[in-house]
Structure 1
Amino acid sequence: MLKSSHHSIAVGDRVVDLANETLRDGGGGNVPLRPRAWAVLRLLATRPGQLVGKDEIMDAVWSDCEVTEDSLVQAIGDIRRALGDAGRSALKTLPRRGYMLVVDEGPIDARLVHGDTPRLSGIEEQPASSSTPPHLSIVVLPFANIGGDPAQDYFVDGVTESLTTDLSRISGSFVIARNTAFTFKGKAVNVRQIGRELNVRYVLEGSVQRGRDRCRVNVQLTQTETGSHVWAERFDKPATDLLDMQDEIVSRLANNLNAELIKAEARRAERSPHPDAMDLYFQGRACINKGVTPVFLAQARDFFMRALALDPGNIEAAVAAAQIDVSIGSAFLTDDPSVQFEAAEAGLNKVLLHAPSHPRAHMLLGAVHMQSMRALGGIAECRQALLLDPNLADAHGFIGLAKFLLGRGEEVEAHIHEALRLSPRDTRAYLWYMFVGLGKLSLCADREAADWFRRSIEFNRNHALAHFHFAAALALLGDQKEASAAAAAGLALDPGFTIRRYRANPKVDNPVYLAKRARFYEGMRLAGLPEE
């Protein structure tokens, strides 16, 4: 299958030409590979038949930037596709350890190594790699110390360094390392030139001004290709404990940037005549962020399935596809949510075999456990996700949901406040507001529940379940007119909803929770939601 020479490794009809730094096909033509994927392949090809550990590969290939293991998984997927038919069998994955090119010695066709096959005149050979900046590639320039007090430099630099680290946790991101970014400290910069020099799509700049009682942070995200601003934000915070303040500033910025970068990448992908797998992934994520409706979820699933068709090894698309199943089951959009939860669990377990440190995969697996009679196990998975990514505010939200399912509605609000502290404008905050409303409703605090449901709907109206719960709370309060209007708004988004479907899928068998849930059915009936 795989044959080697002093300077080349043949894999099926492909040749890894180490001397010329190219991957060639059966006709001697170059097979394009992105620079990092080529670097991984080159490292494996220099040690055929040997296990090369994940940490060693990461240290060798991404020494100049901070990325997650997902970047390695994506590079391996790129290599397998580039190697063609033999790629999957020749490039072995040793779970949790590393990768290996399997060797079968034998002669190599000289035409494949040297590229002697005749070419059509007037057609230039394509380069082995593209200079196009990677998706979600960004450099965080050193933030400016507006006050000018040298004693504050350590705090301002700490914000920059921590933000660089935390942005590298964003799925699919490529973040220039701190040492490179800090060479620009104190210099006037041209973002378009920086984009060309560092091969990144985005530049993040900012400033910090600390007074005696307040800390003000200004940030702006710029697209390097055009020099246009993508996003800007300013916020003030009381200057209390410095480390806590720094953590909160960084968490809020990282979560806001996650959402803004997804929107920016999705807009870019819409203009692409030939979107790749990551283009499709970002478009799907943008659909998910619009809300939980059958239409948006169907659109998002289509993008993720197309991404996986192009790249079966795309970890992010696989996790996002599982999220669609979790959303459908959680929102009572089907008569038998167990089908969706089982599909999501199978998909997430498969992902975690290849990427055991993927925070969102652990979090979503926790969500499946919570709604499949395993709430405590779900909390454990979400806590694992938070160990891997302390900024993952949604994991706090799901822990709050689990407390409601365990019949501990009085504990929900504290978890949601922690999620909102990390990400007050999160695209999924409408779900967190609903979780608090559920906890309040289970405690018969109907007025407070209605207020939280109202906040959920005002944040994002495209979530039928929030409308249905709002209708139930209003009906229990005796506000029949507004309850009927809320019920109608929900049915416009999900015409198939019935009380029977809701009652038949309680998600847990906790008797305390089930007894409290009976009030929900009563409120829904009073609001005029259909029984069957």
Structure 2
Amino acid sequence: MVADTLPRRLAAILHLDVVEFSRLTHDNEDATYRTLQNYLRDMDTVIENRGGRTVDRSGDNLLAVFPVAADSVMAAVSIQERLTTKNGALPADRQIHARIGINLGDIIDDGQRVFGDGVNVAARLQEIAPPGGICISDSARIVIGNSLSVSFQAVGEQQLRNIASKISAHLVISDSDQPRQSTHEPDDPRLSIAVLPFTSQTENSDLAGLGMGLTVDLISALSRFRQLFVIAQHTSLAQKRDSVGTIALGRQLGTRYLVDGSIRTAGKGFRVAVQLIDAVSGGYLWSESYDGGNQELLSIQDEITQRVASTLVSNLEHSAARRADTRRTDADYTDVIRARQLVYRMQEPRDTEMARTLFHKVIGIDPQFAPALSGLALTHLTDLLMSWSPEPDTCVPRATQYAQQSLELDYTDSLAHAVYGITGLWRGQHIEAVSHLEQALELNPNHADAFAGMGLALIFTGDPVASIRQIGLAFERNPFPPSWYRWALAIAQYNSARYHEAVQTLQAIPDLNRFHRRVLSASYARLGDLDSARRQREIVMAETPGYTAADSRLHQPYANPAHIQPFIDGLVLAGFPAGDPS
């Protein structure tokens, strides 16, 4: 009897995906279809001429296999060059850009379709390629060697979506690509940073090892923040600070910021000191020290990495925002930071209007800058929550549109997933919202906004106790939290009948708005402090005279409408008009 075997073989797999396909079809479905079909037929010819075979074309995706890895790369380069040429005849908003991922691995080939983990890896590599770019696996890079006219830029080990093991990846750089010039003010819109090797002021080999471990772990942790451009490990670890000053070293590395650290013995334990340095001025922007015992080396390594990473990002953003007031830039991430701070302030409609101006400025210079699109989504969501828009019915569709565009540009951007997830709550898509927030945290375990967004999701799906824990994780990672963190925490505390804690949380907000005051008034009423409840109610009603307790159903998107009833009852107890309960 002959055993049934699946036809397996080694192949180079090419996966292509069109960027912003949803927007293109939404704007002009017929024109997009005709243009894309023309482009795909041209791609088929390129693939065939390079010895490959197109296996599948569905929607905006193309899958092809090649017997030789080098041929798959040259086919990809030719495809991208042809797209660039063809796009030159189209207006900017109609141009079609693609990402390409290539992997060398085993496939199951039945003659018509191909399957296997190798195919999945190629698809995930495509997701982390920049628009118009090509990303290949290390397995393909090794086989290709130096046989091609292109060069490769290592991007390190990547945790790809739904792939268990990390994959070493490389970007393909062809002659038509413009290399990045290293200057003390890099062109990359992200905040640039290098982590220098932690120095060990002790002869203890274990502590010296901890210093090196902290350096590597901190580089990896910071690399998860998409708003940062982090110098790779092999470059950072090769630096020697005793021969050059911080300003010269920052210019040499092309970074704005440096992280410097040291480890030394302190009594029976040890002390780790970390500093954030402005490489342009040479000044210290932030410093912190951490103490531990020798028996805690591994556990404290993780704790220090988490605390330093989250605190560094917050200080980087605050430093960049201050710097933005004194110099004018083009598509600079500082504009995104300033805009996000305006949104998070939630004080007046002008905040989101000014933020949108900044976001549109960035997008006008770089239409494919995903964080700006995520920010635009957030401004429209904020307008809905604060009742600032004269057309409230347009807020959710606009927020959804921009968040989706951001994800299409960069599916591995944790910020985009977080914004889309939070937006999904107000679209009534609670399961989808949780899924995107989980994806955001998988991509970036230190993403404070995603933790806070997950807290909101837990509130609105009826688990306030778990929400309190989740929002607490957000506070740990963001020492400069926007007011909506505390607003969310207060709602979770109220829904857990922890009214005194809700009052304390809201009192920590410097400038209370009417949404904060409603929760505060209901909390006071639950505690029996009706005078304080009345004072907060009067402030709210003076601002919005027609407000009723039942209106809160429009602003808090509970999956189960019954879960908002305790809050409405508290508002009525505080003296707010009950309104229509239907």
TM-score (norm 2): 0.64
Determine if contact 2:201/2:263 at 8 Å carries over to the other structure: yes
Determine if contact 1:468/1:524 at 8 Å carries over to the other structure: no
Higher RCO by CA contacts (8 Å cutoff, separation 6 or greater): 1
Determine if contact 1:407/1:512 at 8 Å carries over to the other structure: no
**Which residue number in structure 2 is paired with residue 56 of structure 1?**
none
Aligned identity (percent) is 22
* Cα distance change on mapping 1:130 and 1:250 into 2, 3 Å: closer
**CA deviation after TM superposition for structure 1 residue 405, in Å:** 1.2
Q: Deviations over 1:37-79 (max 9, x none)?
A: xxxxxxx999753359xxxxxxxxxxxxxxxxxxxxxxx9xx9
Give the match's secondary structure for 1:219. strand
Asked if residue 450 in structure 1 is aligned to residue 503 in structure 2, the reply is yes
Distance 1:491 1:260 in 2: 38
**Which residue number in structure 2 is paired with residue 217 of structure 1?**
272
- Which residue of 79, 82, 90 maps to 1:50? 79
**CA deviation after TM superposition for structure 1 residue 266, in Å:** 2.3
Determine if contact 2:194/2:230 at 8 Å carries over to the other structure: yes
Distance 1:405 1:294 in 2: 25
Determine if contact 1:378/1:402 at 8 Å carries over to the other structure: yes
Unmatched runs of 5 consecutive residues or more in structure 2: 1-72, 101-122, 134-178
Distance 1:400 1:451 in 2: 18
Aligned residue type for 2:547: T
Determine if contact 2:268/2:294 at 8 Å carries over to the other structure: yes
Give the match's secondary structure for 2:289. strand
Deviates more, 1:381-390 or 1:507-516: 507-516
Distance 2:578 2:343 in 1: 26
Distance 1:385 1:478 in 2: 41
* Cα distance change on mapping 1:235 and 1:370 into 2, 3 Å: farther
* Cα distance change on mapping 1:132 and 1:445 into 2, 3 Å: closer
Asked if residue 437 in structure 1 is aligned to residue 490 in structure 2, the reply is yes
**Which residue number in structure 2 is paired with residue 371 of structure 1?**
426
* Cα distance change on mapping 1:347 and 1:445 into 2, 3 Å: same
Q: How does 1:392-431 map to 2 (within 5 A)?
A: 392-421=447-476, 423=477, 425-428=479-482, 430-431=483-484
How much is the aligned-residue C-alpha RMSD, in angstroms? Answer: 3.8
**Which residue number in structure 2 is paired with residue 92 of structure 1?**
97
Higher share in strand: 2
Asked if residue 516 in structure 1 is aligned to residue 566 in structure 2, the reply is yes
**Which residue number in structure 1 is paired with residue 223 of structure 2?**
168
Q: How does 1:149-160 map to 2 (within 5 A)?
A: 149-160=204-215
Q: Deviations over 1:415-444 (max 9, x none)?
A: 2233334x151423x433332321232233
Deviates more, 1:461-470 or 1:211-220: 211-220
Give the match's secondary structure for 2:242. coil
Asked if residue 300 in structure 1 is aligned to residue 355 in structure 2, the reply is yes
**CA deviation after TM superposition for structure 1 residue 261, in Å:** 1.5
Aligned residue type for 1:449: A
Distance 1:236 1:497 in 2: 56
Distance 2:76 2:386 in 1: 50
* Cα distance change on mapping 1:463 and 1:214 into 2, 3 Å: farther
Q: Deviations over 1:239-269 (max 9, x none)?
A: 7754443223222222222222222222322
Asked if residue 141 in structure 1 is aligned to residue 196 in structure 2, the reply is yes
Distance 1:137 1:482 in 2: 48
**Which residue number in structure 1 is paired with residue 66 of structure 2?**
none
**CA deviation after TM superposition for structure 1 residue 385, in Å:** 0.8
Q: How does 1:314-393 map to 2 (within 5 A)?
A: 314-334=369-389, 337-393=392-448
TM-score (norm 1): 0.70
**CA deviation after TM superposition for structure 1 residue 479, in Å:** 2.3
Equivalent pairs counted in the alignment come to 430
Determine if contact 2:276/2:285 at 8 Å carries over to the other structure: yes
**CA deviation after TM superposition for structure 1 residue 524, in Å:** 5.1
**CA deviation after TM superposition for structure 1 residue 484, in Å:** 4.3
Q: Deviations over 1:52-110 (max 9, x none)?
A: 9xxxxxxxxxxxxxxxxxxxxxxx9xx99x98977777773147636669xxxxxxxxx
**CA deviation after TM superposition for structure 1 residue 366, in Å:** 1.2
Q: How does 1:486-497 map to 2 (within 5 A)?
A: 486-487=536-537
* Cα distance change on mapping 1:505 and 1:330 into 2, 3 Å: closer
Asked if residue 498 in structure 1 is aligned to residue 547 in structure 2, the reply is yes
**CA deviation after TM superposition for structure 1 residue 367, in Å:** 0.8
**Which residue number in structure 2 is paired with residue 266 of structure 1?**
321
**CA deviation after TM superposition for structure 1 residue 393, in Å:** 2.4
Determine if contact 2:330/2:365 at 8 Å carries over to the other structure: no
Asked if residue 180 in structure 1 is aligned to residue 225 in structure 2, the reply is no
**Which residue number in structure 2 is paired with residue 15 of structure 1?**
none
* Cα distance change on mapping 1:89 and 1:418 into 2, 3 Å: closer
Distance 2:447 2:540 in 1: 29
* Cα distance change on mapping 1:212 and 1:491 into 2, 3 Å: farther
* Cα distance change on mapping 1:464 and 1:190 into 2, 3 Å: farther
